[in-house]
Amino acid sequence: MAKIRDLTGQRFGRLVVLYDTGERRGGQVIWRCRCDCGNKVDVRSGNLTSGNSMSCGCYSRECTVERSTTHGMARRGKRHPVYKVWLHMLRRCEDLNNNRYKNYGGRGIAVCGEWHNPQVFIEWALNNGWEKGLTIDRIDNNGNYEPDNCRWIARKEQARNKTNNRYVTYNGIRRLFIEVLEEHGIMSGTKEYKRIYYRVNTLHWPIGRALSI
């Protein structure tokens, strides 16, 4: 008989496993789980580990409401920008069908329980520096979306915080590749930028040589 994997205390989306109910269905353990919304639900082990069950059903209901109603902070039928930030944050962490899930929920990044309430998140945003044009950023890129790990910054600054940014050593100092190029008047997306990037990233030239030729 295969050894049962103990899931007690583990989180799967909005669900935290409380205990083994002792019930078995189709050879699978039935776990009692607590959802972040407060409900308790029994879930098969396979549905937890595969990602098929990520909440008690509240997430699906919220998405349905979101598609069919207008949030209380909407004006003239258009959603408030902070609400849109909240919705996209939740989707990339908990919606398996979201094209960004693998980089967020798939890496174990979650949204804290209190922020599952959009009003709580919006109140935090308005009291912590949100302005139109800013984007939410996690201070620890491997940490969760929660008040102590989030801030509002410009999109350009957030782009520089991404894990795929390339660092180079220039004049003996380790710096961001894009910052060195900008100091030489070379902007991202230009032909010159692509040429230098190719030399450094593909041909593995030192940045000094790539800039001098």
What is the per-residue pLDDT across 183-200, written as a single tens digit (0 to 9) for each?
Answer: 888 877 788 888 988 898
- Tell me what pLDDT residue 63 has: 61
| pLDDT band at residue 47 under the 50/70/90 scheme | confident
- Helix or strand or coil: residue 169? strand
Please name the residue ranges forming H helices in 56-167. 58-68, 81-94, 118-127, 155-161
Q: Does residue 65 surpass a pLDDT of 60? A: no
Residues in the chain: 213
Secondary structure of the chain: what % helix, strand, coil (to 5)? 40, 25, 40
- Tell me what pLDDT residue 33 has: 92
What average pLDDT does the segment 166-170 reach?
A: 80
- Tell me what pLDDT residue 61 has: 60
Q: Which helix (H) or strand (E) is 150 found in, with range?
A: strand 150-154
Structure token pair of residue 98: 């979201």
Q: Does residue 202 surpass a pLDDT of 70? A: yes
Q: What is the pLDDT of residues 83-104, one digit of tens each?
A: 889 988 988 888 888 888 888 8
- Tell me what pLDDT residue 32 has: 93
Task: Report the mean per-residue pLDDT for the chain.
Answer: 80
> Within a 13 Å sphere around the CA of 201, how many CA atoms are in the beta-carbon half?
12
| pLDDT band at residue 164 under the 50/70/90 scheme | very low
For residues 89 and 145, the answer to whether their CB atoms sit within 8 Å is yes
- Tell me what pLDDT residue 18 has: 94
Q: Does residue 150 surpass a pLDDT of 70? A: yes
Higher pLDDT pick, 28 / 69? 28
